[in-house]
Amino acid sequence: MRKTETKRSRNNIILVGFMGTGKTVVGNALARRLGFNYIDTDDIIEKRAGKTIPEIFAEDGEAHFRQLEKKAIRSLSHYDKYVIASGGGAVIFDENIKQMKNAGVVICLSARPEVIYERIKHNTYRPLLRVPDPLQRIKELLAQRQAQYEKADVVIDTSELSVDEVVNSIIAELKNRKPFNELELLDSHHSA
Ligand code: S3P
């Protein structure tokens, strides 16, 4: 569970990446494989604010949402053995990337714009994509954020991969990285 500041473990896996790259589904599957807990920074924000993400954007604006997101990310180093999915825009501030790296290994999931569009087109929960031409908007936002996503410790293109394949790639990466290479649970859960 949560740890105090002095006992920071960095035993967490933080998933970053654009909307629709698979952070939630991969994060849940990865957490199950590792026996870790799963949490999403958007859920932390909604719980603390007592409103949904679309309500926060509509009533308080994106800038306020970004402040709440920064606060949620600042609290991540208190978690231990969590898979943490962050919102797609979390990387736009270097401060957030620094905080996430402080809490664990930062893995970016990426995908081609067309694949992202197919995955999210029926979902109305994302205020930034409620525009007449969502694919164009996805391309613009990706272009703006690309350099930030590349600051992750590892980048995995999920466009052609199944959830299990993405999970296996992440586990293969963890095996070479402290402190995960010292956790025995990886081998016993790795079936590939
Ligand atoms: C956002 C992504 C969303 C959510 C908010 C803003 C973004 O999270 O944080 O709608 O700026 O890309 P998901 O990536 O989980 O959809």
Which pLDDT tens digit goes with each residue over 98-122? 999 999 999 999 999 999 999 999 8
User: Span 125-136, mean pLDDT?
Assistant: 94
- Structural domains in the chain, sorted by start: 8-189 (3.40.50.300)
The tokens describing 77, both together, are 């180093």
Identify the pLDDT of residue 3. Answer: 47
- Residues in contact with ligand 1 by the CB-under-6-Å rule are 19, 23, 42, 53, 87-89, 126-128
Tell me what the pLDDT averaged over the chain comes to.
92
Residue 127 Cα to ligand 1 midpoint, Å, equals 8
Residue 153: C-alpha distances to residues 3, 7, 106, 189 (Å): 23, 23, 5, 23
Q: What is residue 192's predicted lDDT score, i.e. its pLDDT? A: 43
At 189, list the tokens.
């859960």
pTM: 0.92
